[in-house]
Each structure stands twice: as structure tokens, then as C-alpha cells.
Structure 1
């Protein structure tokens, strides 16, 4: 989907061996690729990109213990964790669930930004904004109220697809995204009155009390594990009667898990609990698939809650 993030080792020979290993991996010769990566690591023991690539290859070969060891080395070599080795460790059950490293999320989406919309719409059949719009309209119709909003906050706004979907329903949008590349793309749309590069919770903390009547998060909560902090801030910034509408990926168990797609999945039971704990009232919760992967709809939920 994306070009691979590469952090040079500072050793030209080690870097060249890394590239050779990636060529071998692309050709399907995983054992040879692993051997060449180990040679690169001998030359440059703190080569984060090589350790991460070795972890991916060991994982693909079914060598879980070796993969975990390599991802742990990648974390040690790059404490900011641009590659997301900690996310891989969570997926493998080798680390407790925690927030995704900010450097990883920024790197991922800065790479993604130039082709984000084409990738999502054409290949993944992305539909989270349309699902949210339909659900909000249905809820307001059931309440005999118009689906119009003065000020909306678009969390994880990406390139602006959420604002585009709600453009006829909202007077002014505030966009928040951790990726500068995504915010640059969103700014070019002209849909946002304000844009900020920050994580959801920190950006919401800067917003005044009761300053928005709608908060959106289209396919963005999948990059947030524990939702309580962000929803508590959402509750504070919403006016009475305001709505928060978001999608999540889901699973059959309880609580939160790290999925194979390296995104969090939240159970319906967890969603109900965290909404209540944030002093919000759950208005709508139903299955909805926000995207398709490997030609299979991803299991998800569309959620709307209100501040009473």
C-alpha cells in the first residue's frame, strides 16, 4: 500500500544490504532476505529499519518468537518508533495494549497523504463518511429535527472526506489530524475554517467548553485504543443536545484488541460502557462496514451519542 519507511543506519554497506534484502523479500525468498538483514545488523547493530524488516519477515515465516525479538530490537533502536514496532508487538500479544506511537502514526499518514483518497476510495471502497451522514440524518429525522450544525469538529480529518460528506449540513468545520501531510491536503479543500496538527485529545483540550454541536470521527477511532480520554473531552466541547458520530472496527470478544490490520477493534459492549462513562447518551449503535480489505468488508460499528 505504501512505500516502506527507511531510516538509514549511517553505514552505506549496511544500507545496501538492507535494500538487497528487500528485493529478495519482494521476490518471495524470505529465508535469504532474513539472512542478508542479519548481515546488515551485524554491521550496524542499531539499524531500526533492518530490525523491523527482519521482524516482518520472521512473522511471515511463522517464527513468532524471532519476530517478537526483532520488533523489540527495533523499538530499542528507535525509541520514537517511526516504524510501529510496538504496534506489531501488541498484535502478537507480546506487549500490552497502549496508545500508538505518535511518530508511527505521523510517518504512516504523511506517506499516505498524496494518494490517500485514491487508495481508500478506489481500492478499499471507503464509506465511513457516507455511513455517518446517513446515520445522522436518520437520527435527526426520527427526532423531527433538521440535520444542520453550526460548528463541527472533524477528528482525524485526513484529507477532508468527512467534511466533504457533511458540507451541506455544517456551517464551519474544525479539522484535527496528527499528520502534517494530511492537514496540508485538507487545507487545499477550502472546507475548514480551522485546522490543527495534533492528537485528538490534546487538540480538543484547547477547544472552549460547549463550542461545537457536532463532533465527527470517520474511521479515525481505529487508531485510538482507550476511547475514554477523547470522549470525555468531546463531552466537554459539545453543546447540550450536540452529537458525536464515529465509526469503529469491532470484534466478537470484549474490550479492545489490536487487529491484523494494525488498527484497534472495539467491542459493542465496550462502546456502550465508554459512552456512558463519558456522560454521553448512546443514541445509535449498529453494524456498519467502513471499508473493504482483501475483497472482504471490514466489520465495524457506527456510533452516535448525544450530550444531554
Structure 2
């Protein structure tokens, strides 16, 4: 997938685009919209400017329809949606399809890979990998060891490091080549696979893993059932799938929050697990990270094949 163009190809348009971004960052949505419109007069095929115009218009509730039109124009130019136009449309109430596209996640984390760990651990107090390791030890004892492990959404390898001493052969799966490059540098992974979780899992051999883990991965998926079903197929009988999800107050469904992440209802998680042939071995509330200084509620789950 080709990354979104950083330049419109027109120097003056690029300069006005930079001014528009600065204006929006300073809270002047009107000026940002005017400047973005000037960019589009010179470069009508420049998707980032349509996205910026939508963001500026969305700041005014009276311009929601115009904002949605701008986001749809960006999406038409970028059908794989590396820009994240669907996420903005969902925020306006148009949630007709998966809001967070694989292309958007790939682009987001490719640009984030170098500073990912410091921001996540130091800035957000991220503790998903540590919670998962502790849960596995509680369930199986301090001498537990899993021979073949799938790290779903492995990122830079935080989960792989957390499993040191209890994991044998590690396979990491991630959408982002930048993240996989960081994970490769750890030397922990026997295999690293680039791609969508469902697609990569579908190519794994049935009964080929003793453990699958997914730390803070399902925040990017509205429907987690398909991943659970593929993971169950890949696990050996008695194998475990340990994961964290963001929580919302309701029992069912997925809710796209103001943070642009999906939160899942605990009853839906149980139902999806059961439909996949996975039994709940552990399910408990957990604070998975912090956002703006406030703990983000979630669920820590370990499911058994």
C-alpha cells in the first residue's frame, strides 16, 4: 500500500497546507478551512487537504454535512483509507463500516514506531503485556512454559519481552513494517509476519500454537469474533488465548470512543469467545493504560481452547 503523499506537487499549495494545519492546531478552524480550500483550488486531487478541510469544518456543528462531504472526497482519493477518513466519518455518526482501516493503522504505526515504546510505557502507563504474563502465571503456575507462541499485533516487541522465560518459539504478526523492524531488533522472534491478523492467522496451520496473545490490539477492531475463531483453530487443544480489550459501560457491542479506539462489551466478548469454541479461564476488570491522566477501563481475559 502506497503511503499518503506528503506533498501535493505544488510548492505554494504545500505552503498553504502547512499554514492551514497550524491554524487548526491553534484553534482557528475558519482560517484553516479557508486555507485548505485554497490548497484544493490548486491541487484538487490532494487527499490530505480534503481531510484537513473536513476536520476544520467539523469544528462547527452547523457544517457537519460539509465536513462529511470533505471526508468522503478524501476517501474517494484514498480508497484503502490510510488517511483515516472513515474514522472521522464515524465521529460524525456515519458508522456504516469498519471505521479503522488496516491501511490507517499501518500508516499510523509506521510513523510512530521509533517513539512508540517511550510514549506508550512512560506517557500512557501501558501495562497490558505485564498483566497478561501475570495472568498466565496465575493460571498455570510459576513454572509454566509455552512452546509455540503467536504474538498478535506484536508492535515493537513489548509483549515478546514480557514473555521471556515462559515462551519458546515466538511468532510476531503486525500490519506495520516499521513496527516489525523494531521487533526484529529485539532478537526474540523466530518469525515475523506482516499483514492483517485475520489473513495471517488463516494461513497458519491448525493446532500449531500453544499460546496466542493480543495486548491492546482489539481497540482497532470493531468485530473481534473472526480473529477469535481463527486463533481457536490455530491453538492446540488446551491452548490459551490471552488478551486485553478496552471496556465501555454497556454489556454488548463495540463503541468507538472519542479517543478513536473501540471499546467492547463484556457480554459480547463472552459470546464471541463461546462461538469460537473458547472457554473463559479468566476474565477480570483491568486498567490497561492511562489517557489524559485518567485510567482507561478494560478487561483482561484468558480463553482456553
Give your verdict on TM over 0.5: yes
Q: Is the 8 A contact 1:284 1:303 kept in 2?
A: yes
Q: Is the 8 A contact 2:213 2:242 kept in 1?
A: yes
Q: Deviations over 1:252-281 (max 9, x none)?
A: 232012121111111001101100010111
> Equivalent residue for 2:262?
264
Offset at 1:84? 0.7
Aligned length: 300
Higher relative contact order (CA 8 A, sep 6+): 1
Q: Does 1:48 align with 2:47?
A: yes
Q: Does 1:25 align with 2:24?
A: yes
> Equivalent residue for 1:190?
187
> Equivalent residue for 1:67?
67
Q: Is the 8 A contact 2:154 2:183 kept in 1?
A: yes
RMSD over aligned CA atoms reads 1.6
Q: Is the 8 A contact 1:124 1:293 kept in 2?
A: yes
> Equivalent residue for 2:37?
38
Q: Is the 8 A contact 1:8 1:49 kept in 2?
A: no
Which ranges of 4 or more aligned residues in structure 1 deviate by more than 6 Å?
Answer: none
Q: Deviations over 1:72-94 (max 9, x none)?
A: 12111221211111122123321
Pairwise mapping of residues 205-244 of structure 1 onto structure 2 (< 5 A)?
A: 205-244=202-241
CA distance in 2, matches of 1:169, 1:130: 13
| Cα 1:99/1:72, change in 2 over 3 Å | closer
CA distance in 2, matches of 1:196, 1:292: 29
Equivalent position SS for 1:233: helix
Offset at 1:183? 0.3
Q: Does 1:107 align with 2:107?
A: yes
- Normalised by the length of structure 2, the TM-score is 0.94
> Equivalent residue for 2:145?
148
Question: Which runs of 5 or more structure 1 residues have no equivalent in the other structure?
Answer: none
Offset at 1:107? 0.5
Offset at 1:146? 4.1
Q: Is the 8 A contact 2:151 2:214 kept in 1?
A: yes
Q: Is the 8 A contact 2:100 2:221 kept in 1?
A: yes
| Cα 1:82/1:184, change in 2 over 3 Å | same
Equivalent position SS for 1:182: helix
